[in-house]
Amino acid sequence: MNAARNQKPSQLTDSGRAGYAAATMISPPLPAEIDPPLRVALPPYAALEPVPPVLPLGSIFILDVDKDASAIRGVSSTLRRAPWAPLLVVTRAPTGNPDVLQELDGVPGSPAFLVRRPDEGLPLASQAQHAVLSRRPADPEQVATYVASRLRRPSIAMPMTIAMSAPPRGLARVAFGVRWLAGRLSSLGDLEASEWREVFHLATGAGNLRLTSAQAAERMGLDLWTLRRRLQHLGGVTSDQYREYAGWEWFVESVLRTHCGVLQREVESQAPPPGRQGHLKRGD
């Protein structure tokens, strides 16, 4: 079952599809209908809503693929407009719909999956965050690829991966050397290589409601005051947002907006000059 969870859905064999469905099962049962197929859940994830023109950080795309697997094709462009919002694919198929698995190859990001039952249960929006949390944890290469894509700098993916996967005692042991990494990353903004490593480790702990803020800080080897200070410095976010907003993508996005001048495509034409901007405020 763990192997099924760690594979991309499109890579599963026929014999593995049952394991995939079981690995992605979330209880309790959920409502039978979502209409239209693509909607969003916004913090605090109390209801499903139509997709707004601009998605705030912390949003989750929710796609019902039961009626038409080809619906995935029609939403890819929408998903690419807001890569900071993870996708939750919802289905009632007990073994996974082969057409859905094939179509997911073209979907950006790392989707979460929810196999639901036809009988009534808790609202889907309230289950979305837990489904996103059930995804396989992000690795340095995945987060670095997100950064490179948002900055439109493909060549930065490799040095960013090295910085994010550096030894916990610092970058001195990195084969390429601190100076080499600093030269590659200095053009991105005002964060040093060691801070990009911190961004990765904080991102992997984001959206975990199973931990209190104090427990999250302890897991990172920090006290609560230091965690709050680092979250504010790196992304302009609070410890409550860090726990409550689903996924890791929104946190990395907030760092890019704070330190690298990245803004939503919808407002780029009106964007101020790059710098320390785009801080996430409570309720955004």
**Who has greater pLDDT, 34 or 37?**
37
Q: Domain segments of the chain: what residues? A: 2-133, 140-270
Pair type for strands 48-49 and 38-41: antiparallel
Mean pLDDT over the full length of the chain: 76
pLDDT per position as a tens digit, 90-104: 887 665 566 666 767
- Residue 61 pairs with which residues in a beta bridge? 40, 87
pLDDT per position as a tens digit, 227-257: 999 999 999 999 999 999 999 999 999 999 9
CB atoms near residue 117 (< 10 Å)? 15
Cα–Cα distance, 95 to 182 (Å, whole number): 48
Residue 23: pLDDT over 70: no
**For position 2, what pLDDT does the model report?**
44
How many angstroms separate the Cα of 205 from the Cα of each of 16, 141, 208, 230? Answer: 29, 16, 6, 13
- Round the CA-based radius of gyration of the chain to a whole number and report it: 19
Cα–Cα distance, 170 to 281 (Å, whole number): 31
Q: Band of the pLDDT at 33, cuts 50, 70, 90?
A: very low
Residue 54: pLDDT over 90: no
The two tokens of residue 283 are 């309720």
Q: Band of the pLDDT at 67, cuts 50, 70, 90?
A: low
Asked whether the CA dihedral 215, 242, 245, 248 is positive or negative, the reply is negative
